[in-house]
Amino acid sequence: MAIEVGAKLEGKVTGITHFGAFVDLSGGVTGLVHISEIADNYVKDVKDHLKIEDVVKVKVINVDKDGKIGLSIKQAVDRPEGQQPPQQRERTSGGSGGPGGGSGGGERFNRGGQDRGGGRPFNKQSAGRPAYGKPSFEDKMSRFLKDSEERISSLKKNTEGKRGGRGAKRD
């Protein structure tokens, strides 16, 4: 039986890794369900969702020319027409680098509206937009200019020090 992209099949989980799970399809053919294709929500550990010997329904999402088969469990779920999968939270850059952690994206207040401390002090200019929103273009541009000026001044200090000051002759 040829495995075709878009086919929905049943298979048995034969191996679990930190990046996904291997699923044995019919005829000894094995494919990989990447961790991002296991569930609609964030999956921190594959073992929280799957166990070896579990029988799962998968959808073939790609077949490489070297024989590797990409599978998806979340795409294999039949949803009523017009129903969208739950939207994933948008991640902000900076801070902890992961969901639910640390000082990401200006989340200075908890749900009760109380100051959690740490981070930057309250800025009156940003009071008009939500604390969890994306920074405006002007904010991004001013941050870029500040970083750029700091880098240039640092670079000038380092190169002048190596040459012995301004206008010094090199040997």
**Separation of alpha carbons 75 and 59, rounded Å:** 6
Task: Please report the pLDDT score of residue 107 as a whole number.
Answer: 47
pLDDT at 97: 47
Half-sphere exposure for 155 (CA within 13 Å, toward CB)? 6
More confident residue, 159 or 17: 17
CATH of the domain at 27: 2.40.50.140
Average pLDDT over residues 2-6: 83
**20-24 and 55-63 beta bridge pairing:** unpaired
User: How far is residue 74 CA from its own chain's centroid?
Assistant: 17
75-130 pLDDT tens trace: 988 776 666 666 555 555 554 444 544 444 444 445 555 555 555 555 555 555 54
In a domain, residue 85? The reply is: no
Residue 58 lies in a domain: yes
Note whether residue 154 is domain-resident: yes
The verdict on residue 169 lying in a domain is no
Examine the fold and report which residue of 45, 72, 99 is the final residue of a domain before the chain moves on.
72
Q: Is residue 78 part of a domain?
A: no
pLDDT in tens, 26-56: 878 999 999 999 999 999 999 999 999 999 9
Using alpha carbons, list the distances in angstroms from residue 22 to 36, 51, 65, 71, 166. 14, 11, 19, 9, 63
Q: Summarize pLDDT for 48-86 with one digit per residue, the tens.
A: 999 999 999 999 999 998 889 999 999 988 776 666 666
Say how far apart CA 68 and CA 81 lie, in whole Å. 31
Which of 72, 96, 116 marks a domain boundary? 72
Structure tokens belonging to residue 153: 């001044």
Give the count of domains, the chain.
2
Q: Is residue 87 part of a domain?
A: no
pLDDT tens per residue across span 128-158: 554 556 778 888 888 999 999 988 888 888 8
Establish if 100 belongs to a structural domain.
no
Domain span at 138: 129-160
For residue 170, is pLDDT > 70? no
The residue out of 72, 103, 118 marking a domain boundary is 72
pLDDT for the residue numbered 137:
86
Please report whether residue 122 resides in a domain: no
